Structure 1
């Protein structure tokens, strides 16, 4: 019996839909297998300053498996040499796939057209402790005054991506608020950062809380740039009696208690945005201790399926 073209196309479309559905499920499964929920150690910065090993043990006992550092100073992580800090993490069953270290203007030697030995050592030490991402959480103010300087520095970002790639890692950038309040030639700085960095070399870590007081809406951003946010800082915000963390009258709070639709944003990132690393960060505590907040934030994330 002959099959009409219409029937053939209809049957083919069903077959293609099935393949597409299977592919989507396989992609989702692969993404889930690489997915982590961790904590930025700046959330417990005072505790880490007083007792790094004891604080990490408390976090591990809470159920954390992943941490992100915010303290690499003079070649050491929280006072530990890279090899020793890696052992401390391993002994506690912790992994540290990302960390914050500012790449300053002076880390690039214009005369040599190369990174300084100090920055190269920073990258090497990150590899020793097992990082997958070397994240700079700042953009030098001198590099955001005019378009030519800005674009030149974005080239340095891409070059740092190439440097990190040699050690099996990726360079990354983490936003604050000025990226959303500053414009160059009428274009928002954050848009310029994403348009002038190679996504294969430079990952973006979206901090959904920092941007809020400057008018940045996390959900709008992740929809505008699908697949660009491999990492997220999971953060909620409430109106503050003080100037707030970014100076705009807002401070971070326990997840789900503030004005950010946190679960919607991370769900979108997980399902459509290519996000696999969800890093909890809380910098203000509303009469609770940082460790109490860290425990509650993890409980909420687990309740959300993370």
Structure 2
């Protein structure tokens, strides 16, 4: 039996949430997702958002919060996430200024640890979500991703592994999931194809090159809490892409 539940990263629906945030959450619930990972809160107050989630039977998995916001308003983000019942705050990306060389990376590791310690003190887990560059850039002879999780203790920084980007960077996501077993509560479940010019094209689940069933099985073995569907860019309208991906998960016994 799987250890995880199925959620969605709302960045997938950013065009729809910008027009009707509440309506988008209703569509998510109707498709059968158990939880949502936020990328903004639609301008709702925490109490109103919690009421809506409860009404729809959705769990607040966590929130993606940019590092500048984490440095400037961490207490506010922690309070908001606790109020909506969220368990995780995740740094979703690092700009060039945080990773221009090995020493800058090491400074960023220290910043992430400081943020993670403050989150832990208030009962929220802090995580980091990767793209491909953390596996393409090196720090002291190892991938920046491994250097990060080696430098920052597990009690200050959890792993939110985006399996698609691990695959695209040329690594085996199944091996990476196993590597961080016990530290990896969240797995981004995403499919991708490489275009003729070598660029990534994120596609609906089951239509790309990623071995998604193997990733789901690895997530079970690693004790992951959530598989989180995300599609950075959709070829079909976002709601249609979401529905097609959920249908594939159901047809393959993953939801």
Per the normalisation by structure 2, the TM-score is 0.91
Tell me, yes or no, if the aligned pair for 1:180 and 1:189 is still in contact at 8 Å: yes
SS at match of 2:232: coil
Residue number among 146, 162, 165 corresponding to 2:101 in the alignment:
146
1:278-298 CA deviation, whole Å, 9 max, x = no partner? 101112333x22112212222
Name the residue aligned to 2:77.
122
Correspondence 1:81 to 2:45: yes
Rounded Cα–Cα distance in structure 1 between residues aligned with 2:232 and 2:203: 8
SS at match of 1:210: helix
1:1-306 equivalences in 2 (<5 Å): 32=3, 35-71=4-40, 77-104=41-68, 107-108=70-71, 116=72, 118-240=73-195, 248-271=198-221, 273-286=222-235, 288-302=236-250, 303-306=252-255
1:94-125 CA distance string (max 9 Å, x none): 11121100123x854xxxxxxx4x22212211
Query: Structure 1: 5+ residue runs without aligned partners?
Result: 1-27, 72-76, 109-115
Q: How far off its partner does 1:64 sit?
A: 1.7
Contact 2:99 2:108 in 1 (8 A): no
Whose relative contact order is higher, 1 or 2, with alpha carbons under 8 Å and at least 6 apart?
2
Offset at 1:41?
A: 0.7
How many angstroms does 1:212 deviate by? 3.3
For the structure 1 residues 227 and 139, does the alpha-carbon distance in structure 2 shift closer, same or farther, using more than 3 Å as the test?
A: same
1:145·1:184 contact (CA, 8 Å) conserved in 2?
A: no
**Which SS does the other structure have where 2:181 is aligned?**
coil
Aligned-partner Cα distance in 1 for 2:233–2:133: 20
Cα 1:61–1:225 change in 2 (3 A) is: closer
RMSD (Å) for aligned C-alpha atoms? 2.1
**Deviation digits for residues 151-177 of structure 1, max 9, x if unmatched?**
232222222222212332100100011
Q: Which runs of 4+ in 1 moved over 6 A?
A: none
Q: Any gaps of 5 or more consecutive residues in structure 2?
A: none
Distance 1:305 1:217 in 2: 20
Q: Give yes or no for contact 1:226–1:274 (8 Å, CA) kept in 2.
A: yes
- Give the secondary structure class of the aligned counterpart of 1:294: helix
Count residues with an aligned counterpart.
254
Under a length normalisation based on structure 1, what TM-score does the superposition of the two structures give? 0.76
Looking at CA atoms only, which structure, 1 or 2, has the larger radius of gyration?
1
